[in-house]
Amino acid sequence: MRRVASRWYQWIIFLLICSVMKVKAEVLPNKVAKTLVQDAFSKGAVCLDGSPAAYHYDKGYGDGVNNWVVWLEGGGWCKRVEDCGRRFNYSNGFSNHMDSKSFYGLLSNSKTSNPEFYNWHRIMIRYCDGSSYTGDVELVDKATNQHYRGARIFQAIMEELLAKGMKNAKNAILSGCSAGGLGTMFHCDRFRSLLPSTVRVKCLSDGAYFLLDNDFKRAKILESTYRGVVNLHNSAKMLPPSCTSRMNPTSCFFPQHIQQDIKTPLFILNSAYDSWQIVDTVIPFADRQDFAENCKKNLSKCSPDQQKMLQGFGAEFLSALPKSYSPSQRGMYINSCLMHCQTDHDWSWNSNSDLLNNKTIAKVFGDWFFERDPSREMVKQQDLPQICSPPS
């Protein structure tokens, strides 16, 4: 009996070892350590509270060793001194609160989840300035010790990455989500200018096509936010002069106005039913809890008024997209998921949760980036939004 039990024990151990080896073979998401910007104080590359800015860098290897993906983290904006001060208690204002990060989606090191870019140099720049990386104020607020230096953060980290080998890149992508996706648009041409003309450089803006629509109340929410950001952070000089020469800087914060001024190839990834915009600018404040707990989780529970608002926003969103352009200059993946960012999750980046023409986001973007698909454009419209959830 002891021999039989011993053999069973050995067999169980063997199976456990095989299971562990299989997990390793599939590549688990790696925790990437935080890197503080060198000489951050002398360069002015500091967070709102004055702490050094930070990023996470996972080195490329193999045939990806000369290719780079830089991803800008998002996290809203602060338009008033008191708004920015509240961020001191969190990672979006104070780098001491930043921990190691697991990379998913476009930054994943898994060939299964991220087949095109898994072995590229992959960098996440942490968001701690509240201005979509546009702030550039020299003086420090003496009363609050607040620093408005988002643009200097971007510049300092670019200098470090160039020194680490990005200057020798063959392919490079600037991407980001939400406020980081907006920063991607603002800095896209600037990023292009840092690299030789022989390098293939393109940008991917995710969940950042914030809408200035025809509804006065909705428009006023974002206009007020952006006006405050521009004034507090001195953001105007970071916006394309070709835009600010024809309209005020606040209007140039809206992608539908600025996208035509971006000369570098740009890919727009967004849901026509962007959940952040719908919750924060479409649904009346008094109805937001009901929407979040019911309609957003189960569309059959949406009231007729809610369904009408959703469909109206989706139609308005599609009408604000670029109308005529060269596919080599603009690519799009506009799906109907009731969600926000899609580059930072494996299940949304490369899964069957919401396909366009039976292609994942990763496939469509890869084809567009490497110019493998002659059409290089995907747009999807549905009468109603749909829930896109992580696969169980």
Question: What distance in Å separates the CA atoms of residue 121 and residue 115, rounded to the nearest whole number?
Answer: 14
Buried b (16+ CB within 10 A) or exposed e, 106-121: bbbbbeebbebbbbbb
Question: What amino acid is encoded at 229 in this protein?
Answer: V
Which H/E stretch holds residue 35?
strand 34-36
What is the pairing mode between strands 101-102 and 200-206?
A: unpaired
Torsion 170-362-273-90 (CA) sign: negative
Pick the catalytic residue from 178, 205, 251, 348. 178
Question: What distance in Å separates the CA atoms of residue 328 and residue 144, rounded to the nearest whole number?
Answer: 47
Taking Cα atoms as reference points, which of 211, 219, 187, 232 lies closest to residue 84?
232
Question: What distance in Å separates the CA atoms of residue 12 and residue 272, rounded to the nearest whole number?
Answer: 50
Pick the catalytic residue from 274, 344, 346, 367. 274
Q: Is 155 helix (H, G, I), strand (E, B) or coil?
A: helix
Question: What distance in Å separates the CA atoms of residue 152 and residue 31, rounded to the nearest whole number?
Answer: 26
1 burial type by CB count under 10 A (0-12 exposed, 13-18 middle, 19+ buried): exposed
Residue 58 falls in the annotated catalytic set = no
Q: Is 386 helix (H, G, I), strand (E, B) or coil?
A: strand
Residue 178 falls in the annotated catalytic set = yes
Residue 274 falls in the annotated catalytic set = yes
CB 56 within 8 A of CB 32: yes
Question: What distance in Å separates the CA atoms of residue 218 and residue 224, rounded to the nearest whole number?
Answer: 10
Pick the catalytic residue from 129, 340, 348, 367. 340
**Ramachandran assignment for 49, one of left (phi > 0), alpha (psi -120 to 50 degrees), beta (any other):** alpha
Q: Outline where DSSP puts E strands in 152-216.
A: 171-177, 200-206
* Residues labelled catalytic: 178, 274, 340
